[in-house]
Every structure is written in structure tokens, then in C-alpha cells.
Amino acid sequence: MVATPLMNITKVETSKLKDLNLENIPFGKFYSDHMLEADYIDGEWTNVEIKPYQPLLLEPSVAAIHYGQAIFEGIKAYKDPNGNPFIFRPKDNFKRFNLSAQRMQMPEVPEEIFMEGMRQLVEIDKNWIPTQADHSLYIRPFMFSSDPVIGVKPSETYKFMIILSPTGPYYTAPMRIYVEEKYTRAAPGGIGFAKAAGNYGASMLATAEAKKLGYDQVLWTDAFEHKYLQEIGTMNVFFIIGNKAVTPSLEEGTILEGVTRDSAMQVLKEMGFEVVEQKITIDDLIQAHKAGALYEVFGTGTAATISLIKELRYKDYVMQFDTALWQTAPELKKRLNAIRYGQVPDQYGWMMPV
């Protein structure tokens, strides 16, 4: 395809790729040669360019740093067995990004900048897409308010950027999860459904306290009674109860609507499960566990894909699972990966060619 005239492209003279071993790379520590940058000024998007990855020069008064008008997305690119690059369901992330923008009183990013900009950036850096199992190129679009003004008000200028990070597996081992009853991630009317930076800053103390007790992450509960289950850290959660796959429903706006969540729901149906989105309490879960009907618990998200949960603790009640015996989550992961790595026909139309 031809570059849109709207976009300026400056390429690096020598790639940094030769200094990096794409095998066994940690999550989110290395960045590719190029990045996309665009500015929102006087009510329109301008200065759209792809250029060498480099630091930003910002005034210390930049509004996002003080008041957190900042949002992001997480997407992954893969190569099929012939080495052709594809991006997994980017249009869904594009729509969610603009929902987050709307909630945070930020301007929407037009489709040709977000989608076509991302496609061109990944095309330029396609050699950065690792090919071994559980590896991929993580795509991080983000936007922040950039007025050098410390009054509390929506900014008049914004920056939209995309950076790329080659990545290995996010969580490797099955996780131990602490059911959170003190801290809250999201309340109705808040920003839980948005991928807004402040959600993550607010979550870190709870996670740190769970870690001190020997847990990897928390399972968030509702703000009023701390009974209704929401999500695990930055992943959506699924429970296999009997022949049902149950995941918390979205209606209160306290849960991030994951693209992996939606993909998992479709594949679980294909696997013969009755997929149910409903409000579910910790008491419902304990009851199912006591009845011997709670078979599996797992998290879903772009970074981690599917994360197996080997222990859930609520007060003094501990639920333990032998994940080595599980059938569902490993099969789900296998099917999702087969689609993403282009090993089976893409019957859902999820893979966008680059």
C-alpha cells in the first residue's frame, strides 16, 4: 500500500535489532526502531509522523502528569507460518480507545491515524515480530493531555503515540490470587470500563499488599459490599462451573471489556460450553467449590493471553486447584494461539493483514 500523504515517515539508519536476541525476552522492556506520534492542536490532529523511537521533550507542567488525562491500548502482532505479519482484532481496540477518550473528555483519534498509522508502523518494524511460541510484538497506542497548564481542566492539546515492544510470555507459572476486600478498583459511574492510566496507579498498593502475603495478584470485588467479583489484576476472569463458563457481566461499567474476553467467549462456545455473563458473588463461587463443581479459574488479557489460577483465597477460605489436570483453559489457549499464529483458518475474521 502507498503511504497516506498525511503521514511523514523518517526511518532509522541502522536497526537496533541486531543488538537484541528475540528469544527469551521479558515483557515490555525493549522497543522497536520506530514510533508514531501525532498532535491535537486547535481542534484537529496534525504532525502525524513515524520516526525513530526517541525520548520526548516535555514541559514539567504538562497536564497529564498532574491530573492523569491519559489512556492506552494493548494489541498484539504475530507472524503466520509463512512469515506474513498480522494484527489481532485491532479494530476492537480502536473502538475501545475512543470510548476511553470520550470518558476522559479527550478528543477521539480518527481511524486513518490509529488503524493505518499502526499498520504502517508495524510494517516498517515487522522484523521485530518474534516467531517462537508465546512470543509476539506488543503494540501500545496511547494518548495524553499535553497543555503546559496546571489548572484543572481538559487540555486543549493532546499527543497520540504508538510504540512497539517485542515480548515473551507475560505470566509463566499458574498464579495465586487474593480476593480483595479492602481496596476498590472501580465503582459505578467511575472509569473502570476505560483503559485510563489512573486505574492502574490506583491498583498498585493492593497488589503490593497481596504480594507480601505470598499472592501474585488480587481478584477485585465491588465497591459497596466487596462481594461481586470483577476482574483479576488487569485481566478479565472466567470460572468453569459444571458445563458453564461464567464471567462477570459488564452492565455497571466497572469492568474493562476485554478483546481476549470476547474471543474466549466465542471459542468456549465452539468448545461446547454454555457461556454466561452474569453478576457472580464470592459466596456463589465458594458454594460451587464446596459442591465440587468449580473446575477451573483463569484470567484473560492481551498481555497474558490465558493465565491459570492455582489458588484463590477469600478470608480464611482457600480454594486450590491442580492445574496440571485441567482441560478447558489449556485447550482454549491452544485454539486462540492457533488462530493468532495463523496455524488454522481464521473463521472469525480476527486477523488483520499488515
Interface with ligand PLP by CB under 6 A: which residues? Answer: 74, 195, 231, 234-236, 256, 258-261, 300-302
* Alpha-carbon gap, residue 28 to 243, rounded angstroms: 37
Q: Report how far residue 86's alpha carbon sits from residue 77's, in angstroms, rounded to the nearest whole number.
A: 6
CB of 202 to ligand PLP, least distance (A): 11
Select 69 or 217, whichever has its Cβ closest to ligand PLP: 217
Is the Cβ of residue 5 or residue 349 nearer to ligand PLP in the bound state?
A: 349
What radius of gyration, in Å, describes the C-alpha atoms of the chain? 21
For residue 70, the cross-strand partners are: 144
Q: Which is nearer to ligand PLP, 36 or 303 (CB)?
A: 303
- Would you say 98 or 300 has its CB closer to ligand PLP? 300
Q: Minimal distance in Å, beta carbon 302 to ligand PLP?
A: 3
Which residues are CB-contacts of 246 (< 8 A; sequence separation ≥ 6)? Answer: 238, 239, 240, 276, 277, 278, 280
- Closest separation in Å from C-beta 170 to ligand PLP: 11
Pairing of strands 244-248, 305-314: unpaired
What is the grid cell recorded at 345? 483458518
* Shortest Å distance, C-beta 52 to ligand PLP: 28
Nearest to ligand PLP of 32, 203 (CB atom): 203
Closest separation in Å from C-beta 259 to ligand PLP: 4
Residue 43: CB minimum distance to ligand PLP, A: 29
Nearer to ligand PLP, 124 or 221 (CB): 221
Q: What is the closest distance, in whole angstroms, from the C-beta atom of residue 256 to ligand PLP in the complex?
A: 4
Report yes or no: 202 and 233 within 8 Å, Cβ to Cβ.
no
Which runs of consecutive H residues, i.e. helices, occur in the chain?
A: 63-67, 90-103, 111, 117-124, 197-201, 204-212, 259-270, 282-290, 328-340
CB-based contact 257:271 (threshold 8 Å): no
Identity of the residue numbered 295: Y
Secondary element (H or E) of residue 229: strand 229-232
In the bound state with ligand PLP, the residue whose beta carbon lies nearer, of 74 and 117, is: 74
Nearer to ligand PLP, 38 or 264 (CB): 264
CB of 239 to ligand PLP, least distance (A): 16
